[in-house]
Amino acid sequence: VIARGLGCGWQLISSPSFSYVWDTEVFPFPIGAGPSRTVFVGDVPVKIGGQFWYYLSQPDPLGPEWQLRLQIQPVLPRPW
C-alpha cells in the first residue's frame, strides 16, 4: 500500500493486488490509484475510497483489462 496524505482527511492511495497465473505463465501487472477520505458516521470514523486499475497484460483473452475498486471500512482504534 502506498498512501499520500493530502490534508482535510483526503489521501491518494495505491494498493494493487498482484498474482501469477501458473497455467499461462503470465504476470497480470495492474497500475492505478484513487482518492480516499476519512469521514465520521455518527461517532465512528469511516474510510471511503475508490481506485481504478488498468492491467498491462492479461493471462488470457477473457482476463480483466481494468478494475474499479470501491472501499468502505470502519477505522478501529488500536487495542493497545
Torsion of CA 5, 38, 77, 74, to 10 degrees: -130
pLDDT bracket for residue 50 (50, 70, 90)? very high
Q: Is the pLDDT score of 57 beyond 90? A: no
From residue 72, alpha-carbon distances to 12, 25, 75, 78 in Å are: 15, 34, 10, 19
Which 3 state secondary structure label does DSSP give 37? Answer: strand
When pLDDT is averaged across residues 24-35 and rounded to a whole number, the result is 83
pTM for this entry:
0.72
Quote the pLDDT of residue 71. 92
pLDDT bracket for residue 34 (50, 70, 90)? very high
